[in-house]
Amino acid sequence: MRLILGSGSPRRLELLAQLGLVPDAVRAPDIDETPAAGERPRDYCARMAGEKAAALTVAGGDVLLCADTTVALGRRILGKPAGPDEARAFLAALSGRRHRVHTAVAVRTAARSWRRVVDSVVRMKQLSPREIDGYIATGDWDGKAGGYGIQGPAGAFVPWIGGSFSAIVGLPLAETAGLLAAAGVPVWGGR
């Protein structure tokens, strides 16, 4: 079995390593990530993971792993900010509130596919303009859904989560391990 990571995310690569797995190849799918009109965040996230998995070729003996993480403030999807001003606006909107983080995982072989969506809740403390500006200056927001990464400096803004920390980072480890095992990929160095 060859494990293919269908993601360019360095965080997902690091999380896979926590399961003792190093992918045989990394391929980032090129898909349109525009939400459909009226699409709910959880449905959008599941669709994105599925479309990423469908966009890549899977040969016999390959196991493809794709994922998507979506930050939702109510029904509003907060994607990857286009620049520092949008990241600042996202953080201001999240400040002092709870929001949901949905992470969908899609595993596919040539013959079968598996999917799972993991939902978590994050409470962000009330942020001052100085804290927001300081975080924006780090550049850590770049390429991250919702404009923040809980595993970095923004972790200081999060006093409480409900759900899976690794899912908030980008790959729910327990669920991913189960899906990969179902596809024939043992975790923790069993390959």
In which domain, by residue range, is 25 found?
2-182
**pTM value surpassing 0.75:** yes
User: Is residue 105 domain-resident?
Assistant: yes
User: Is residue 28 domain-resident?
Assistant: yes
User: Is residue 85 domain-resident?
Assistant: yes
- pLDDT single digits (tens) 109-143: 999 999 999 999 999 999 999 999 999 999 999 99
User: Is residue 190 domain-resident?
Assistant: no
pLDDT at residue number 95: 98
Interatomic CA distance for residues 151 and 169, integer angstroms = 6
Interatomic CA distance for residues 81 and 187, integer angstroms = 34
Instruction: State how many domains the chain has.
Output: 1
User: Is residue 187 domain-resident?
Assistant: no
Identify each DSSP E strand in the chain by its residue range. Answer: 2-5, 25-26, 62-73, 76-78, 98-108, 113-123, 160-162
101 in Cβ contact with 70 (< 8 Å): yes
Active site residues: 68
User: Is residue 19 domain-resident?
Assistant: yes
Interatomic CA distance for residues 46 and 93, integer angstroms = 24
Interatomic CA distance for residues 92 and 154, integer angstroms = 13
pLDDT higher than threshold 90 for residue 188: no
User: Is residue 29 domain-resident?
Assistant: yes
Could you tell me the CATH number of the domain that includes residue 135? Answer: 3.90.950.10
